Amino acid sequence: MSSLKLALVGCGRISKRQIEAVQAVDGIDIVVVCDIDENKAKATAEQLNVPYTTDYKTLKDVDFVSVMTPSGMHPQHVIEIAEHTNIPYIICEKPISLTSREVFEMIDRVEKAGKTLLPVYQNRYNPLIVFLKNLIDTGKLGKIHQFVCNIFWNRNDEYFKIDWHGTKAYDGGVLYTQASHYVDMIHYLFGKIKNAYGVGGDIRKLEVHDSISAICEMQNGTVGALSATVSTYRTNYLTELTVIGEKGTIRLSGTNLNQIDFWDVEGMENPDMDFKLDHQYGKGHDTMYEYIVQKKWDMFPSREDVLSGIQLMERISF
């Protein structure tokens, strides 16, 4: 069987992780890259020994395209690729958009163009989150009373000198451009939101919040708190998820929720599923490309799921 052909759009930081992930999976190859910054496009093309373009509308003869451009540009870029190229599947980095209005339009226009949108929600593929989701959905933890989710990361002042970072129009703040897969995880595990209260911190004087603390009441009665920052001293510190259920308490932590810190679940030993990571993005992109090669479209979120997730994001972004 011949390999699937993939185009990359946006040759910045996250493209390096996606390139590693694609190269780790059999059955899919990067055949062309695109960036409006010709130097970046050329450097990535030379590294991969493939052609490049600076205009995504010229892309053709590929099966998939992965959009890795600045967050607030995703709707425009995805829509234009859907309407002006013949590429059937469009992968889009998180956050899919900064507003639910734009997500509505984006999904509608992609569907009208007869194309399929595949959002990158990589925490859904973290083996510990998959395991936890199964415990919750099968009732093994009983009713879920409470969760605490913390994302304590560092993005230094140099990072915020990159033109789009820290802007309202293209970055959206810590929950959108850094922690959005954690917000998606809360939505994935605990469902739709009923009420939320919180505050955002502005001490670094960006156009957006670099730190947010939110408390949430979910529609299923679970309550919880989420704190996210990109302002820890010097370096990334940790991610943490504690779940307090009627029949168990679980605490995950590590750079990307890759270790079990605490496990006390009725009738179930600690599953000993810790895994190691050599980068800060988790293993989710590798799994996502495996699902793409296997055509497991049900592993991607539905339209309704995407929409209610972005609505949760809006509710806790303050």
Ligand X SMILES: NC(=O)c1ccc[n+]([C@@H]2O[C@H](COP(=O)([O-])OP(=O)(O)OC[C@H]3O[C@@H](n4cnc5c(N)ncnc54)[C@H](O)[C@@H]3O)[C@@H](O)[C@H]2O)c1
Which region, judged by CB under 6 A, interacts with ligand X, from 12-20, 104-112, 260-268, 297-305?
Answer: 12-20
Q: Which amino acid is at 244?
A: I
Which region, judged by CB under 6 A, interacts with ligand X, from 29-37, 109-117, 216-224, 245-253?
Answer: 29-37
The pair of three-digit structure tokens given for residue 145, joined into one six-digit string: 């009373």
**H or E segment at 33?**
strand 28-34
Peptide bond preceding 95 in cis form (omega within 30 of 0) = yes
Residues in the chain: 318
13 makes contact with ligand X (CB under 6 A): yes
Output the residue with the shortest Cβ distance to ligand X. Answer: 12
Terminal-residue alpha carbon distance, the chain: 49
User: Which residue in 275, 247, 276 sits closest to 263, CA to CA?
Assistant: 247
Query: Residues 201, 228: contact at Cβ < 8 Å?
Result: no
Q: Which is nearer to ligand X, 85 or 122 (CB)?
A: 122
14 makes contact with ligand X (CB under 6 A): yes
Residues 175-194 that bind ligand X (CB under 6 A): 177
Which region, judged by CB under 6 A, interacts with ligand X, from 35-43, 57-65, 259-267, 298-306?
Answer: 35-43
Residues 188-247 that bind ligand X (CB under 6 A): none
To ligand X, the closest distance from the beta carbon of 246 in angstroms equals: 33
To ligand X, the closest distance from the beta carbon of 234 in angstroms equals: 19
To ligand X, the closest distance from the beta carbon of 121 in angstroms equals: 9
Q: How far apart are CA 91 and CA 114, in angstroms?
A: 15
Query: Residues 193, 221: contact at Cβ < 8 Å?
Result: no
Neighbours of 233 (CB within 10 A): 7
Among 4, 87, 120, 244, binds ligand X (CB under 6 A): 120
Q: How far apart are CA 240 and CA 172, in angstroms?
A: 22
User: Which residue in 195, 250, 249 sits closest to 220, CA to CA?
Assistant: 195
10 makes contact with ligand X (CB under 6 A): yes
**H or E segment at 195?**
strand 193-201
To ligand X, the closest distance from the beta carbon of 298 in angstroms equals: 21
93 makes contact with ligand X (CB under 6 A): yes
Which string of x and - marks every residue 47-76 that binds ligand X (by CB under 6 A)?
A: ---------x-----------xxxx-x---
Q: What are the helix (H) ranges across the chain?
A: 13-23, 38-48, 74-84, 100-112, 127-137, 180-190, 284-293, 303-315
Residues 123-162 that bind ligand X (CB under 6 A): 162
Size of the site for ligand X (CB under 6 A): 25
12 makes contact with ligand X (CB under 6 A): yes
Question: Given the DSSP bridges, would you call strands 144-152 and 211-218 parallel, antiparallel or unpaired?
Answer: unpaired
Q: Which is nearer to ligand X, 250 or 313 (CB)?
A: 313
To ligand X, the closest distance from the beta carbon of 5 in angstroms equals: 18
To ligand X, the closest distance from the beta carbon of 148 in angstroms equals: 22
Among 4, 35, 188, 316, binds ligand X (CB under 6 A): 35
Which residues contribute to the site for ligand X (CB under 6 A)?
Answer: 9-14, 34-37, 40, 56, 68-71, 73, 77, 93-94, 120, 122, 162, 177, 281
